[in-house]
Amino acid sequence: MRQKKQGADGEKKTSLPGSSEVAGAHWLTERKCPECGKSFCVVDMEAWAYKSKEKALCSWHCMRAVEKRQAEKAVKRRIGSVERVQLTKEQVQEMTAMAEQGKGWAEIGRAFGVNAQLVRYHVQKAKVK
């Protein structure tokens, strides 16, 4: 017969049938997925594969959705820091010309005193326009 109890953190816990014979009762912990809202059960949180920052997720699909959102935030943060550096149109044109001559991003960056990512960002942005 299954036993139910309320965990200290407000989670519902249900014992597995026949677990009383095993040393230390095994409990199923019912959780709610923060991504999709589904309810699911976890036996051992340490062994649970679908986690993001110690939050249990119901499936690989939900875990990937969280990871993609976190990656997009990181990219936006980096691009925001790149856009804060102001370069003149002439500097960007010179960078573009140097890139077309076959010089590397790092070499161009050293010539202008900026990092290679900033050079690549501005040159690619200028090519799109």
Please answer whether residues 24 and 16 qualify as being in contact, where contact means their C-beta atoms are separated by less than 8 angstroms. no
The answer to the question of residue 77 being in a domain is no
Q: Are residues 15 and 52 in the same domain?
A: yes
- CA proximity to 56, closest of 68, 70, 72, 40: 40
The answer to the question of residue 68 being in a domain is no
Indicate yes or no: pTM above 0.75: no
Range of the domain at 105: 83-128
Q: Are residues 102 and 58 in the same domain?
A: no
Helix (H) or strand (E) holding 73: helix 60-83
The answer to the question of residue 74 being in a domain is no
The total of structural domains in the chain comes to 2
Q: What confidence score (pLDDT) does residue 112 get?
A: 87
Q: Are residues 8 and 49 in the same domain?
A: yes
- CA proximity to 34, closest of 67, 53, 14, 58: 58
Q: What confidence score (pLDDT) does residue 11 get?
A: 62
Q: Using one digit for the tens of pLDDT, what is the confidence trace for 70-111?
A: 888 887 777 666 566 778 889 989 999 999 999 999 999 899
Q: Using one digit for the tens of pLDDT, what is the confidence trace for 52-67?
A: 887 899 999 999 999 9
Tell me the sheet residues that pair with 27.
15
Q: How far is it, in rounded angstroms, from Cα 4 to Cα 27? A: 9
Q: Are residues 8 and 42 in the same domain?
A: yes
Q: How far is it, in rounded angstroms, from Cα 39 to Cα 45? A: 15
